[in-house]
Amino acid sequence: MGNQDICWMSAVDIVRAIREKKLSPVEVVNAILERIETVNPRINAYVTLTAESALAEAKQAEEALMKDEKLGPLHGVPVSIKDLIYTKDVRTTMGSKLLEDFIPEEDAVLVTRLKEAGAIMMGKTNTPEFGLKILTDNMIFGITRNPWNLGRAPGGSSGGAAAAVASGLGPLAAGNDGGGSIRIPSSCCGVFGIKPQFGRVPRYPVFHGMDVLTHEGPITRTVGDAALMLDVMAGDHWGDMYSIPAPSISFAESLKGGVKGLRIAWSPDLGYAEVDPEVLSICERAAKEFSRMGAEVEEANPGFDNPETFYSQIIVADQVAAMAPFGPTDEIVGELDPVTSTILYVGADMKAVDYARALFDRQELAVKLGKFFQNYDLLITPTLAFPPPPVDYEDAAGFLKWLPFILVYNLTGRPAASVPAGWTEDGLPVGLQIAGKPYDEETVFRAAAAFEEASPWARRKPPLD
């Protein structure tokens, strides 16, 4: 099997091939490393490569295979870790000059679980500073580019993760999502990403900021790979007071069954969004596909206003508190991204009562969405309102126009995924967002898998070769 073929295999297929001894972990890691060497300079998805340790772990995995030892569910499968997630003895910068030399003393829980399952960490992927914008660039590593068009952004803040997966630089990527940071880049890069139920994947240890909004989750090319990966990462942990148990059924087992009989609401704009006509057309076609597959689909809106104002208040307050240990803003501003410094200056005048009102608004939003879901199993919308932004887009306030469908699920904690709905005439990916009831990733996965079967996307590759 050629290296190119290996790089485009799904994790599910890699696991099967390794277990059947048709493929070795060393072959897999070498193939991915070779492709990273060739492709990564063009897109800048990986910012720290752990090639030496990856090869050592691959050799150990091969020895375990030859000895017929018990193998984990991800034995020998390469995985990348976003640079916001702690990795023991591997630099974790958060995309910030303030943490340029930070090396954690322990892995995040999700990293530990991936390693224990046999996954092999290839390195860290790029992120904007503290994950605070939908472009992926920072003052340490520079810009990450969209593999479908190098003049476009891959989204953020898990832009490096999604760009790597879309480019064949590994089938699995760990990202996180405090305001769309898994779903945005998944949409921009034409891959699958799911923000599971809040707390489903523990966050510990962690750099504080957006603690009440951030979800950890997978970015992959296929739905099956994400389910396999989330099965490994999910489950409560003492280090995260918000963490919740894994469900009784594995996510990988929930993919079959289709959507026949499901009640699905389709909303083109949630009643308030401005949406690009081509994006809307692509997503409308995708919504009709669910009807063709047997679901009961009707157009409906939940009846709430755009939550961006009180979402922003929560983000600003959290970030000001998280950054306080670094010192006064005026003393560190030269080392900060303009978006970060703007947030800190704006947040300096926020009152506790304003933050409390934002939390009240959040609860009211959850109630309205909860009532709406009494009549529906899923709500589908475009993931983003516009195609991927230019890689040098500078309007910090303008980022919000991409996100009218995104923030509601960080505020309410519900599971939501982005699946590739299609491509524009210019060859840019467009995502469809599938959101479910609380704690019901199972139905989101099942619907995503059915759509993937009806409209497969993983065989389409960006024009990099």
The more confidently predicted of residues 165 and 349 is: 165
How confident is the model over 390-444, as pLDDT tens digits?
A: 999 988 778 899 999 999 999 999 999 999 999 999 999 999 999 999 999 999 9
Average pLDDT score over residue span 206-226? 95
Please state the φ and ψ torsions of residue 123, each to the nearest 5 degrees.
Answer: 155, -170
pLDDT in tens, 13-39: 999 999 999 999 999 999 999 999 999
- Residue 221 is encoded by which pair of tokens? 């090319």
Q: Which residues of 265-303 are buried (b: 16+ CB within 10 A; e: fewer)?
A: bbbbebeebebbebbbebbeebbebbeebebebeebbbe
Percent of the chain with pLDDT over 70: 100
pLDDT of residue 3: 80
Which token pair is 384?
Answer: 């983003």
What is the model's pLDDT at position 348? 87
For 242-337, list the strands marked E by DSSP: 263-266, 296-299
Confidence (pLDDT) at 140: 98
Q: 290: part of which helix (H) or strand (E)?
A: helix 277-292
pLDDT in tens, 59-95: 999 999 999 999 999 999 999 999 999 999 999 999 9
Cα dihedral 219, 222, 228, 230 sign = positive
In percent, how much of the chain has pLDDT > 90? 95
Q: What is the pLDDT of residue 465?
A: 85
Amino acid found at 82: K
Residues involved in catalysis: 82, 157, 181
pLDDT at 2 over 80: no
Which of 1.20.59.10, 1.10.357.10, 3.90.1300.10, 3.30.420.40 is the CATH number of 3-454? 3.90.1300.10
- The answer, yes or no, to whether residue 99 has pLDDT greater than 90, is yes
CB atoms near residue 332 (< 10 Å): 17
Neighbours of 106 (CB within 10 A): 14
Q: What integer pLDDT is reported at residue 1 of this predicted model?
A: 65
Mean pLDDT (the chain, rounded): 96
Domain assignments of the chain as residue spans, ordered by start:
3-454
- Whole-Å CA distances, 191 to 60, 172, 201, 427: 30, 11, 20, 14
Give the tens place of pLDDT for each residue, 248-278.
999 999 999 999 999 999 999 999 999 999 9
Q: Choose from 80-94, 316-330, 342-356, 391-405 the range with maximum mean pLDDT.
A: 80-94
Question: Where are any strands of DSSP class E within 96-171?
Answer: 120-125, 137-138, 142-143
- Residue 461 to residues 131, 192, 323, 369, 464: CA-CA distances in angstroms? 27, 14, 40, 37, 8
